[in-house]
A and B are shown apart, each in its own frame.
Chain A
Amino acid sequence: MSVTHDVSVQVHRPASTVERPAARGWPDINNPAAWIVAAILLIMPLIANGFFLIEIFATTLILGTVALSLMFLAGYGGMVSLMQLSIAGFCAYMVAVFGVSGNANISLGWPWWLAVPMALTLAVMFGTLGGALAVRTEGIYTIMITLAIGAAFYYFTNQNWAIFNGHTGINNVSTPRFWGVDWRADIPFYYVVLATAGLCYFAVDYISRAPFGLALQGVRDNPRRMSALGFNVNAHRVAAYAVASFIAGLAGVLQVWNYRQISPGSVSVGACIDILIIAVVGGITRPVGPYIGALVFVLLRTFALDFLVKIGLDGNRFRLLIGLGFLAIVFWSSDGVIGLWQRWRQSQLGEANRQGGGRGHG
């Protein structure tokens, strides 16, 4: 699977590069661009109105977090899982089923602080079980088995009325309100999403350098050698699925709070593939990739129709524009937008620094 073979994240910088300990712990800390992005994200409610804040940025962060869980599996574990959106959707459904919604005959009416941990637990179980099935396979077969799980879940939600309420889905899901704050109001919700996405981002960043993450990357690069060294290869992979499921589950909770409803369209096979597209467009070598990919995706999805109408073309062809955008990005940069960025930076840095700053991508 070329997607995973291209991936080799730089974990150890070459020995010649001298670094301070803090920088080794959190490489972003020395990067002014990271600080600027963080600052802009924090003051976003001051510069963006409700639509841009929620429909563009919060949606980007939610989708980016789902794609982050895929990036974690694909980038560090070499496993391309297409069921990450299904896990997020499952968690969203569970929040609606255990929590309070307009479908009183289905929802159990638990308060959110009980419903959400329950939903997350079940989502992690779902993802881990799926992962346990998938780790017996490699490459394209992993994709197939996880796609099969995603498709089965979609058709199940579409036809099951007892729990998932069929094609109608579950409407009017209530959102948390405490300390006198309506957490679904635009600005508080944005910060909830931002905090969750930030947490997931740093968690993945940390894990990638922690012993577990290093072992996982070892498993990705050479499972036989890792196994000879005494690592349990499959256990590491299943554990990676569990971590990824938790991240996807968190995004699922945010997703259902965002729209206050969940229905099978949100977990369709097309939507599962969208997550792969987001991850690939952004680049699956670093945790920031999925978020960049999600931003590109959300912008295209939201504005392609308006753009076509504005330049006098048939608005119905907006999917074409989205497809062309993705083709262009993938064609010119097989490792996504962050690959483009890195190459641009390298050309700026010139020959002298190339040895030290070069990231090992194909």
Chain B
Amino acid sequence: MLKCSVGLLALSSLFLSGAAIAQEKIKVGVTATLEGTYTVLGEDGIRGHQTALNVLGKKVGDKELEFIIASTDATPDSAVRAVRKLIEQDKVQILLSPLSGDEGIAVKNFAKTHPELTFINAASGAQETTYVDPAPNFFRYNMDGAQWQVGLGKYAYDEKKYRKIATVGEDYSFIYTQVFGLVLEFCGAGGQVTNRQWVPLGTKDFASVIAALPDDVDAIYLGLGGADAVNFLNQYQQAGGKAHLMGGSIMIDQTILSSKGNAKNALIGTIAASGQADTWEDPGWQKFVKAYQDAFPPNKRFPSPSLLATNYYDSTMALILALRQVNGDLSNNQAKYKEALAKIEIDAPNGKIKLDSNRQAIGTNFVTEVVDDGKGALFSKVVKVIPNVNQTLGYDPAVFAKIGLPSRTVPECKKY
């Protein structure tokens, strides 16, 4: 018994000492989806984050940044748990989190319970996160899913002459936001979206979805990501699918384009839109691609950074640059730092980024087409670059508010 109580005493003193360590460094917590369907996305996100640290360094004035990474699985619960662990156990002062749409909504809500800390969105892209009841300490330097679709609807209608399309998407907020952006523009131009299918995140068997795809459409839009997208493509190819495809931002992305097997070849010629294009010739982008390629051996990275790597790069960049502007001053509940974050304009590899009054990014969008580089590797080629895309997609805010929040059925297919 004595032994037992001594052990417990030792244990409790361990807890105490853990709480008492003074902070010499600035601690930053990072979350990424290192488990589940979106594992490859999370891993590449972390690569983008590392690339930013290689380029920018970890020093802010005389302070050193320390990063602590926690893993999630794209569910909101796992994100809240990871963020709580980072705040309460690791005592981080700044968070770079999270990766996925619903995680973003949950973390934004959680951020309100810690108004003294700063939350910088890593890559999540649901519209609701910054559009509905935004948290004053939550900053997002990537565009949302709808902004990432700007240009695609018009291009499909005007250039590709698609008139009727159907969509298949994962059943959660980010893909709703993507389809929202697509439908608004495509239907606004005069097109029709005849069928919207939704599959749960983590679906492995797409047989019934593929069987239910309509034949009388010009193209099928795919809003899938990670393992789901690869599974769909494999099964679609086996089922002999031949339709024209259109892709969402994480569908036409290196996470899919550099997957193994030849199912991805179904994507050659697919048009898509995203916050980046693999073959953009802008020197800033090329420099970033080079930095990414130099940072990791070829078998431990994608041929070119994915959207997630870019997002993590941009958000890490904003985090560090704003921190340097205030010289690492996090006093007074980080008031100065938050102000700097709200004002900062970053010269990101995928175009200039600044924030609106909801602390949501206004940035550049790219319409792309998938090409084969001749050696079997697929890349997204720039078709069109659209600068200054804001969250209301150029609509008058009052009109935009009337459309409603993205969901399975919103927006309706009409001109707003």
CB distance from A297 to the nearest CB of B (A): 14
Interface residues of B in 73-120 (CB under 8 A from A): 73, 75-78, 80-81, 84-85, 88-89, 102, 105-106, 109-110, 112-113
Question: Which one, B13-21, B151-159, B385-393, is touching chain A?
Answer: B13-21
Q: Does A52 contact B (CB under 8 A)?
A: yes
A47 lies within 8 A of B12 (CB)? yes
Total chain B interface residues with beta-carbon distance under 8 A: 42
A168 lies within 8 A of B109 (CB)? no
Given A158-B171, A166-B171, check contact A261 B106 (CB 8 Å).
Answer: yes
B-contact 0/1 string along A168-197, CB 8 Å cutoff: 110110000000000000000000000000
A169 lies within 8 A of B102 (CB)? yes
Question: Which one, A221-229, A263-271, A280-288, is touching chain B?
Answer: A263-271
B-contact 0/1 string along A244-269, CB 8 Å cutoff: 00000000000000011111111010
Give the residues in chain B near A268, CB-CB below 8 Å.
Answer: 75
A161 lies within 8 A of B408 (CB)? yes
Q: Does B407 contact A (CB under 8 A)?
A: yes
B71 lies within 8 A of A305 (CB)? yes
Contact of B4 among A33, A55, A167 (CB under 8 A): A33
Interface residues of A in 35-88 (CB under 8 A from B): 36, 40, 47-52, 54-55
Interface residues of B in 27-42 (CB under 8 A from A): 34-35
A55 lies within 8 A of B88 (CB)? yes
CB distance from B169 to the nearest CB of A (A): 12
B80 lies within 8 A of A55 (CB)? no
Contact of A172 among B84, B88, B109 (CB under 8 A): B109
B88 lies within 8 A of A51 (CB)? yes
Given A169-B76, A305-B71, check contact A259 B200 (CB 8 Å).
Answer: no
Q: In whole angstroms, how far apart are the Cα atoms of A264 and B171 in the complex?
A: 12
B1 lies within 8 A of A263 (CB)? no
Q: Does A353 contact B (CB under 8 A)?
A: no
CB distance from A271 to the nearest CB of B (A): 9
Give the residues in chain A near B35, CB-CB below 8 Å.
Answer: 319
Q: Does A155 contact B (CB under 8 A)?
A: yes
A-contact 0/1 string along B244-277, CB 8 Å cutoff: 0000000000000000000000000000000000
CB distance from A175 to the nearest CB of B (A): 10
Q: Does B239 contact A (CB under 8 A)?
A: no
Q: Does B373 contact A (CB under 8 A)?
A: no
Give the residues in chain B near A259, CB-CB below 8 Å.
Answer: 77, 80-81
Interface of B is mostly: helix
Q: In whole angstroms, how far apart are the Cα atoms of A52 and B89 in the complex?
A: 8
B78 lies within 8 A of A265 (CB)? yes
Give the residues in chain A near B201, CB-CB below 8 Å.
Answer: 158, 167
CB distance from A252 to the nearest CB of B (A): 13
Contact of A168 among B76, B89, B200 (CB under 8 A): B76
Interface of A is mostly: helix
Total chain A interface residues with beta-carbon distance under 8 A: 38
A32 lies within 8 A of B1 (CB)? yes
B102 lies within 8 A of A36 (CB)? no
Give the residues in chain B near A171, CB-CB below 8 Å.
Answer: 76, 105-106, 109
B85 lies within 8 A of A55 (CB)? yes
Q: Does A159 contact B (CB under 8 A)?
A: yes
Q: In whole angstroms, how far apart are the Cα atoms of A279 and B12 in the complex?
A: 26
Give the residues in chain A near B77, CB-CB below 8 Å.
Answer: 169, 259, 261-263, 265-266
Contact of B200 among A51, A155, A263 (CB under 8 A): A155
Q: In whole angstroms, how far apart are the Cα atoms of A268 and B35 in the complex?
A: 15
Q: Does A357 contact B (CB under 8 A)?
A: no
A167 lies within 8 A of B69 (CB)? no
Q: Does B216 contact A (CB under 8 A)?
A: no
B12 lies within 8 A of A48 (CB)? yes
CB distance from A268 to the nearest CB of B (A): 8
Q: In whole angstroms, how far apart are the Cα atoms of A259 and B70 in the complex?
A: 17
Additional A-B contact list (4), CB under 8 Å, known A171-B76, A263-B76: A32-B1, A55-B88, A167-B171, A259-B80
What are 22 A-B contacts defined by CB distance under 8 Å?
A36-B5, A47-B15, A49-B18, A49-B19, A49-B88, A50-B88, A158-B200, A159-B198, A167-B172, A167-B200, A169-B76, A171-B109, A259-B80, A259-B81, A260-B110, A261-B106, A261-B109, A261-B110, A302-B89, A305-B71, A315-B34, A319-B35
Give B contacts to A, CB under 8 Å. Answer: 1, 4-5, 8, 12, 15-16, 18-19, 34-35, 43, 69-71, 73, 75-78, 80-81, 84-85, 88-89, 102, 105-106, 109-110, 112-113, 133, 171-173, 198, 200-201, 407-408
Give A contacts to B, CB under 8 Å. Answer: 32-33, 36, 40, 47-52, 54-55, 102, 155, 158-159, 161, 166-169, 171-172, 259-266, 268, 302, 305, 315-316, 318-319
